[in-house]
Amino acid sequence: MERPASVVKELIENALDAEATEIIVELEQGGRKSIVVRDNGIGMNRHDLLLSVQRHATSKISSSSDLKSLSTLGFRGEALPSIAAVTHFTILTSDGAEGCRMRIDSGILRDVSPAARTRGTTVTAEGLFHNQPARRRFLRTQATELSWVEKYITGSALAREEIEFRLLHNGNELFHLPAGQSIPERLRSRYGLPGDTRYVKSEGHSEGTSVKLIWFPDSRWNRKSHQYILVNGRMVYTGLISGPVDAALAGPAGYPLLYCSITAPGDEVDVNVHPAKREVRFRKPSSIREAVEAALGELPSSRQSGMTMISGRKDSNSSFAQDIDRKTYTENLFNASMMVQAPATVDNTWKTEQDFPIVQIGRSYLVTSTDKGIVLIDQHAAHERILFETVLNSLNSDSDSGQQKLLLPEYIRLDASEKDQMDAYRAVLNRSGFEFHIDDETLVLTAVPPGTFHGISALREILRSLQNPENKDMPVREKVAAAAACAGAVKFGDPLSPVETRHLVDQLFSTSDPFHCPHGRPTLIEISFKELGEKFGR
C-alpha cells in the first residue's frame, strides 16, 4: 500500500473479480481520511469473509505455471490483509443468503457479527497509515492523491465498458460512467467534453497481438496523466508502448487524451514483475512493438493530410467529419477577427493580388503566385506568425487584446498545479485575448485571441512553455505569445475554405516578418517562373 489510490485499486480489482456490475467509490480528503468502495458482486459468506483477511489464503496461484493463465485481476491474496494492517478497516458483505460485518483495527480483529445487506460488498478503510506516521507524511496533497484515484478508476472503466462506475469526493459526485458507454463516450463523459468532440481511432495486429488506439487530437495536457494504456484489461505503464505513441502523437500543444488497449496471449505477458502490478514484461516485445507501429501507421496524426476524424454525430460517415458548425465557425473566426495591426514592411512584389487564386493542397500547404513566380506557404507556420504578432502587439501595448468569442465554451479539468499557474498568469492571459473562469477544478474557456483555432491546446502550450527551463531567459510576454501562436494556429490536416485561405495569406503579408514563424522557420518558398522554365527545358 503506497497511497489511497493503491487501496482503491485493490478494492476495485476485488469487486471486478467478484463479477460486480456497479462500483461506487467514496472518498474524504482525497482518501486520506476515508475510502469506501461498494459493489454488487457475488459477496461472501462468513467463512469466506474470515479467509479474505488471512494473508495468501485467497491466492489464485498454486504453482508458477498458473501465472501464465491468469483470468483474474487479483491473484496473490495480499490486498485485504495489507489494507487492514494500516487502517481502521470494516467489511460489510452478503452472498444473498447471509450478511456479515467484520471490523479490524491496525491488523487486529475486533468484531465479526451478522449484518443486513443486499448481495455485494462494502469495504471501508479509514485513517490510512494512522499507525505509521512516517509513511503518512509521504502522502501528497488532497488534490494530488485524488488525481491518482481518478486515474485508476477511469482506466478501470475503460477496460470494462459493461460496468457502471461512480466516484464521489467529500460528498460531491465527480463523475458517473453508466454501463454500456463506448470508449469515446466514456472519455467525453469523464472529461466533460462536448458530445461531438472529434476523435480518431485505428487498430494494428502482429503475431496474435492486437492494438486498439483512440485519441482526441484537440484535448491535450502538459502531462501524460490523461493517457490510458491497458494490457489484457489491466492498466499499466510501459515505455515500450508509450514511447512510440508519444513520438507520433504528442507535440508542442502537449499530450493528447488517449486510449490504447493491447490484447496479447496470456503466456506472453508477465504481470508479476511489479509489487503493485503496474508494469508488465512481454515475452515477445517485438510483436508488441510491431502491432503498436501498425496501429500508428493507420492512425493519421494532426501533422498528416487526409486524416479520418470521427465526430460524435451518429450520421457522420464522411472521411473527415468535423465538429458541429466547424466550417461556419472558422470562416466567421477569420472574417471577424484576424486583425494584425503591424505595418507592412515588405516589398510589394511579394503581396498577392486578388486576381491570383489561392489553393490548399494536402490540407497543409497553400499555393498562390506573384508576378514573379509561384509561392508555397506552410499554413501552420504562416498562421503562427500572424497570431504571434497579434498577441505580442497587444501585450507590449499593455492593452486588452481583441477577442474571438467561442460559439460554445470549451472545458478542461485542471490539476492543482495547473490551477495555480492559471491563476498566477490570469492577467497576462486576459490581455493576450483568453477569457476564462475556473469552477472548482474545471476551466471554462469562453474567448480566444483573434484567429486562434485551438484554444485549449494554446492554453496548454502556454503552461508548458512557462514551465520549460530552456525558456527561462525569455520574457514572459514572448513565451505567452509564441506558445499561444504555436498551439492556436491551424495544423497540418486542418481544411481551410477559400475565404480562410485568402484571409490567411493577406494577413501574413501584413506582418512585420512574413517570411519566418516565431521559431525562425520559413513560412513560404518561392519558385520563380525562370526556374520553372528551366525545369521544363524551356
Selected residue with higher pLDDT from 201 and 451: 201
Q: What's the pLDDT tens digit per position in 33-49?
A: 999 999 999 999 999 99
pLDDT surpassing 60 at residue 417: yes
pLDDT at 451: 66
Q: Is residue 369 very low, low, confident or very high in pLDDT (cuts 50, 70, 90)?
A: confident
What is the average per-residue pLDDT within 402-406?
A: 74
Query: Per mean pLDDT, which of 92-106, 205-219, 255-269 is the most reliable?
Result: 92-106
Give DSSP secondary structure letters for 146-183.
HHHHHHHHHHHHHH-TTSEEEEEETTEEEEEE-TT--H
**pLDDT at residue 330 in the model:** 35
Pairing of strands 164-169, 22-28: parallel
pLDDT at res. 337? 33
Q: Can you tell me the distance from the alpha carbon of 71 to that of 221, in angstroms, rounded to the nearest whole number? A: 34
Q: Identify the weakest region by mean pLDDT among 49-58, 269-278, 344-353, 434-443.
A: 344-353
Mean pLDDT of all residues belonging to the chain: 80
Higher pLDDT residue, 198 or 323?
198
> Which pLDDT score is estimated for 415?
79
DSSP character at residue 195:
T
Consecutive H or E run containing 369: strand 365-369
Mean pLDDT value across residues 21-38: 96
pLDDT-based confidence at residue 316 (cuts at 50, 70, 90): very low
Q: Tell me, what's the pLDDT at 138?
A: 85
Confidence of residue 322 (pLDDT cuts 50, 70, 90): very low
pTM metric for this prediction: 0.59
Among 516, 524, 9, 450, which Cα is nearest to 234's?
Answer: 9
Confidence of residue 313 (pLDDT cuts 50, 70, 90): very low
**Helix residue spans in 27-163 (DSSP H):** 46-52, 79-84, 133-137, 142-159
Helix (H) or strand (E) holding 220: strand 209-221
C-alpha 471/C-alpha 473 separation (Å) is: 6
Distance between CA atoms of residues 355 and 397, nearest Å:
36
User: Does 321 have pLDDT greater than 50?
Assistant: no
Output the DSSP codes for 392-449: HHHHHTTSPPP-EEEEEEEEEE--HHHHHHHHHTHHHHHHHT-EEEEETTEEEEEEES
State yes or no: pLDDT of 260 exceeds 90.
Answer: yes
Predicted confidence (pLDDT) per residue in 330-355, tens digit: 333 333 333 333 333 344 444 447 56
Q: How would you label 482-509 residue by residue, b for 16+ Cβ within 10 Å and e otherwise?
A: bbbbbbbbbbbbbebeeebbbbbbbbbb
| Per-residue cell: 456 | 485549449
Task: Examine the pLDDT at 325 and tell me if it is beyond 60.
Answer: no
Q: Which of 133, 141, 185, 177 is nearest to 156 (CA)?
A: 177
Least confident of 48-52, 240-244, 399-403: 399-403
Is the confidence at residue 408, as pLDDT, over 70? yes
Looking at residue 357, its pLDDT comes to: 84
- Phi, psi (deg, nearest 5) at residue 272: -105, 20
So what's the pLDDT on residue 76?
Answer: 52
Angle at 48 between CA 42 and CA 49, to 5 degrees: 90
The DSSP element (H or E) to which 531 belongs, if any, is: helix 529-535
Residue with cell 487526409: 306
Q: Cα separation of 38 and 439, whole Å?
A: 29
Say if residues 246 and 255 touch (Cβ distance below 8 Å): yes
Residue 270 buriedness (CB in 10 A; 0-12 / 13-18 / 19+): middle
Q: Where are the domains of the chain?
A: 4-180, 182-323, 328-526
Query: 256 — phi, psi (to 5°)?
Result: -80, 160
Residue 73: pLDDT band with limits 50, 70, 90: low
Q: Which residues pair with 500 in a beta bridge?
A: none
Which has more pLDDT, 342 or 264? 264
Q: Is residue 105 scored above 90 in pLDDT?
A: yes
Which of 25-34, 377-386, 468-477 is predicted least confidently? Answer: 468-477
Q: Which of 452, 449, 456, 457 is nearest to 409 (CA)?
A: 456
Cα–Cα distance between 145 and 32 in angstroms, integer?
8
Q: What is the pLDDT of residue 461?
A: 74
pLDDT score of 80 more than 60: yes
Task: Please answer whether residues 91 and 123 qualify as being in contact, where contact means their C-beta atoms are separated by less than 8 angstroms.
Answer: yes
Selection from 44, 23, 22, 26 nearest residue 35 by Cα: 26
Between CA 281 and CA 264 the distance in angstroms is 12
CATH superfamily, region 328-526: MutL, C-terminal domain, regulatory subdomain (3.30.1370.100)
Which pLDDT band, with edges at 50, 70 and 90, does 65 fall under?
low
What pairing do the DSSP bridges indicate for beta strands 209-221 and 255-263? Answer: antiparallel
- Under the banding of pLDDT at 50, 70 and 90, the label for residue 252 is low
Q: How far is CA 147 from the centre of its chain?
A: 13
Residue 512: per-residue pLDDT: 84
CATH number of 4-180: 3.30.565.10
Cα–Cα distance, 297 to 397 (Å, whole number):
46
The fold for domain 182-323 equals Ribosomal Protein S5; domain 2 (3.30.230)
Mean pLDDT of 496-522: 84
Residues 37 and 25: their CA atoms lie apart, in Å, by 5
Which of 22, 10, 12 minimizes the C-alpha distance to 166? 22
